[in-house]
């Protein structure tokens, strides 16, 4: 339905999991269909507050990844441009914010999980975004982390000044990263 209208598609967003009851397995099927249709998928994973407080954040995200990636070929997903977005549900609209170090640790955990699933090449190349109440005030903290490759911006994208601030900060960070690469 989206072919010709979009090039990217979000799969597994927390609101779809919550409001539409989408399971990890259904999300895996949607992921496959998106790639088959030539859409670039952004696979969202993330834990609820009670799961985080119980120390199960990494386990929850690993389960979501394993179920969504099951049955797919790593080279097909890599060719399809798979992106993973860490979306800590507990940090979305709750007033409780994740820190850059939290997101960075989860991005590392996501890559480790993908490698443990036997997909070493994909683990090293898959971009990992942060997507939990991103604002112009906090984007720098997330983009400054080495394991975070970008942001999945939600509500702030509907506010022109806020989005402009996010884009400006992302540009500064991108230039700094390119300068570091060129210097090495």
**107 in Cβ contact with 148 (< 8 Å):** yes
Three-state DSSP state, 96 = coil
Q: How far apart are the first and last CA of the chain?
A: 45
Q: In the chain, where are the structural domains located? A: 8-183
The reported pLDDT for the residue numbered 96 is 79
> Would residue 13 show up in a list of annotated catalytic residues for this protein?
yes
Closest CA to 98 of 59, 61, 46: 46
Within 8 A by CB and 6+ apart from 39, the residues are 2, 3, 6, 7, 8, 9, 80
The reported pLDDT for the residue numbered 73 is 87
> Would residue 87 show up in a list of annotated catalytic residues for this protein?
yes
**96 in Cβ contact with 45 (< 8 Å):** no
**CA–CA dist 68, 35 (Å, integer):** 13
Candidates 51, 87, 141, 162; catalytic one: 87
Instruction: Please state the pTM of the whole predicted model.
Output: 0.92
**CA–CA dist 92, 14 (Å, integer):** 10
Q: CB neighbours (10 Å) of residue 170?
A: 17
Per-position pLDDT tens, the chain of length 184:
778 888 999 999 999 998 999 999 999 999 999 999 999 999 999 999 999 999 999 999 999 999 999 999 888 888 889 999 999 998 887 777 889 999 999 999 999 999 999 888 889 899 999 998 899 999 999 999 999 999 999 889 999 999 999 999 999 888 888 888 888 7
Pairing of strands 150-151, 83-86: unpaired
Tokens describing residue 61: 């995200």
Candidates 13, 47, 72, 145; catalytic one: 13
The reported pLDDT for the residue numbered 95 is 75
Domain 8-183, what fold?
Answer: TIM Barrel (3.20.20)
């Amino acid at each position: 339905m989206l072919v010709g209208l979009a090039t990217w598609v979000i799969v597994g967003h927390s609101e779809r999991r919550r409001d539409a009851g989408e399971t990890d397995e259904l999300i895996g099927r949607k992921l496959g269909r998106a790639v088959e249709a030539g859409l670039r998928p952004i696979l969202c994973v993330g834990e609820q507050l009670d799961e985080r407080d119980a120390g199960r954040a990494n386990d929850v995200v690993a389960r979501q990844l394993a179920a969504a990636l099951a049955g797919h070929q790593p080279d097909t997903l890599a060719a399809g441009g798979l992106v993973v977005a860490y979306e800590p549900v507990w940090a979305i609209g709750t007033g409780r914010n994740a820190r850059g170090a939290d997101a960075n640790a989860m991005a590392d955990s996501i890559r480790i999980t993908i490698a443990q699933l036997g997909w070493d090449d994909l683990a090293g190349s898959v971009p990992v975004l942060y997507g939990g109440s991103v604002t112009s005030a906090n984007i720098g903290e997330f983009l400054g982390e080495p394991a975070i490759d970008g942001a999945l911006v939600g509500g702030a994208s509907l506010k022109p000044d806020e989005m402009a601030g996010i884009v400006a900060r992302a540009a500064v960070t991108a230039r700094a990263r390119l300068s570091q690469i060129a210097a090495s």
